Amino acid sequence: RDFNERCAQCSEVNWGLTDGGRFYCRSCHNVTERTREVVNTDFITNSRVQTISKGLRKQEKNDGGCEWYICEGFQLVLKKQAEALEALGVCPQMKDEILCSFWRCYLQKSKQAYCKRPAGETVKALSACESSTDVDSDPERPSLLHLLSVSESEGDLQTDCSFVSSVSKVSESTSVYSGSVDGSLYLMKNQKEKLKMTMPMTLSFCYMALLWLREPITLSELLRFVVEGHIPYLNVFQHFPEKMKLCGLDLRIFCVESWPVYEEVFNKMHELAAFLDLPRFPDITDSCFLHPDMLCMKYLMEANLPDELHNWTCRVVKKIGIGEVDFLTLMPGNKSTRKVKYDVLAAAVIVVVLKLLFLLDDHYEWLLSEFAEERNKNSAEGGPYFEFKKWYEVVKQSLDMEQKKLDEERAKYLWRCEKPLFYSVKNKSKVLKRRQMVVNLQNQFGKLSGSVRRAEKPNPSSFQLSWSEEKTDGSCFHRHSLKGVLQEKCGLLTAMNPDYWLCTVKLCNEKLCGHLAHYREVEFPQSYHFVLGLFSFLLRIQPSYIHDEVCMIEHKLFNKILYKKLKYNTVLRK
């Protein structure tokens, strides 16, 4: 009350005290260098105390662990993931500023921290709240504030007293079943009204921060780096401090035994952005990596397709307006705008261009290949013509090898972590003995069979398939010409193919059935299915999601023709 200066950031006068005795703004959470000076008459005259202790927190348990909360565990996970992304070359601003800001906002919105203490709370509840915020009693234990931000030296976590007091009442009864204080309360049904934190949501937080910074990492790449082990996700709790004991119900929260799903992480990211009331994200312009023109260039190179196709993808993007800033930029909470999957959208544009030029009906593309093959044999002037059949054979061979390698790696993956897990303190000794026995047996059988240890994981790369132009076997098609499928008309190059087949005439309601169109392999040509399968492998998603985007692009591209056709059919029915 004695400190009446205005905050330098928000100009409000609403101060609180951190554990170190510094003043912080309750409105914007700005921490000042100013400390509160308290005169203590119990000491020598004129002596002053410049830090205020809130009492010792009950740290040590019977098993040597300390009290910790679920949100602290998730914060450790986010910290490890942010550090891994920073090691991959992401801007350091992501961890200390963007992701930290999003996480603090989530804690406040979900009433887990940074919220006002309700009036009329009992002294017991207040003491429980204060003891839960004390971080000075154990310097080795990471504080809830300092895990993400390394730039701040002091901070105060104002935890919701009603939440902590309710947790403290059940902590004793649940200590056998959970290592955390609030593990059982976190899984209770009455907590469903909040956007409850889960392990897939940690990736949603990371992707949201990457999107805010417009980093050159798509969601499909982020999930692939997770599967390859470059970003902590599976068994990430092994990095928890020793005093944060994990057992019982905590395993249901932090122990993951499945790969992250694209659609789940994507949808949760949009829910989070709306839940946090975030403003409009920075604009996705044509110079950003996430723009369709940029991503199409990348996927054309990775799919070993001719460079000339990029001109056609740019024409399609411009024609239907999916390269506009307002279409691409995320506006949280705006239900009228469509949620853009940047990587899937770019792959769908390439598929539509291939249909425009080669039709992909299991007949026309092979006729064009025969013509290009005959021309390449007779003449080599102006570079080789693109042969769809030869491209299909080369890419399919490489794709089958990579798919087989991926399937073998997933089959051999050890889901069990090195750190033993136990569901109760009573079974701890049994689990440790059994784990040690398993390790000894594995080592003995390994020596007998002469098995080689697994090689270290390769360095992460944005490209899964690489094609070198230096090879003389003709396996790289980047410089091949499209003259065999194009003709000049009115000064413009147009496709020789005058026909086009639509994947679907009428789109479904995406909100009701989850898809714009239904994809069944037997109903479509094999060439079309192969192209979808290729990009499905590159993006690690189901082909049906790419098919949805293809249908959406087609309806934008042929909107006038479809409108006339539907209108004509309606007149005939009347």
Tell me the pLDDT tens digit for each residue of 427-483: 666 766 776 777 777 777 767 766 555 556 678 888 888 888 776 666 899 999 998
Q: Which stretch of DSSP H or E encloses residue 24?
A: strand 22-25
Answer for the pair 185, 251: CB distance below 8 angstroms, yes or no: no
Residues 249 and 297 in one domain: no
Residues 316 and 392 in one domain: yes
Answer for the pair 542, 520: CB distance below 8 angstroms, yes or no: no
Answer for the pair 460, 321: CB distance below 8 angstroms, yes or no: no
Which is higher by pLDDT, 494 or 165? 494
* Residue 140: inside a domain: no
* Residue 230: inside a domain: yes
Whether 57 has a pLDDT exceeding 70, the answer reads no
Calpha distance 213→90 (Å, rounded): 9
CA 48 vs CA 15, 34, 42: distances in Å: 21, 15, 10
278, 302, 324 — which closes off a domain? 278
220, 254, 278 — which closes off a domain? 278
* Residue 175: inside a domain: no
Residue 437's pLDDT is: 77
* Residue 126: inside a domain: no
Which 8-state DSSP code applies to residue 277? T
Residue 334's pLDDT is: 86
Segments forming the whole domain that contains residue 17: 1-37
Residues 219 and 104 in one domain: yes
> Where is mean pLDDT largest: 7-11, 293-297, 564-568?
293-297
CA 39 vs CA 21, 32, 56, 473: distances in Å: 13, 21, 21, 84
* Residue 553: inside a domain: yes
Name the amino acid, one letter, at 224. R
Residues 366 and 508 in one domain: yes
Residues 386 and 498 in one domain: yes
Tell me the pLDDT tens digit for each residue of 495-546: 888 889 988 877 777 665 667 788 888 889 999 999 999 999 999 999 999 9
* Residue 224: inside a domain: yes
Tally of domains within the chain: 3
Cα angle, residue 429 at apex, residues 425 and 433 outer, rounded to 5°: 145
Residues 272 and 304 in one domain: no
Q: How confident is the model at residue 270 (pLDDT cuts 50, 70, 90)?
A: very high
Query: Residue 89: how many CB atoms within 10 A of its CB?
Result: 10
Residues 481 and 534 in one domain: yes
Residues 376 and 506 in one domain: yes
**Range 332-338 average pLDDT:** 85
- SS3 string, 402-413, reads HHHHHHHHHHHC
Residues 369 and 482 in one domain: yes
Calpha distance 573→377 (Å, rounded): 54
pTM for the model stands at: 0.77
Q: How confident is the model at residue 338 (pLDDT cuts 50, 70, 90)?
A: confident
Residues 312 and 369 in one domain: yes
**Range 173-196 average pLDDT:** 66
- Angle between helix 309-320 and 342-358 (nearest 10): 110
* Residue 244: inside a domain: yes
Q: How confident is the model at residue 59 (pLDDT cuts 50, 70, 90)?
A: very low
From start to end of 172-262, where are the E strands?
none
Residues 203 and 243 in one domain: yes
Tell me the pLDDT tens digit for each residue of 550-573: 999 999 998 866 656 555 444 444
Residues 261 and 304 in one domain: no
Q: Which of 44-53, 109-118, 187-196 has the weakest average pLDDT?
A: 44-53
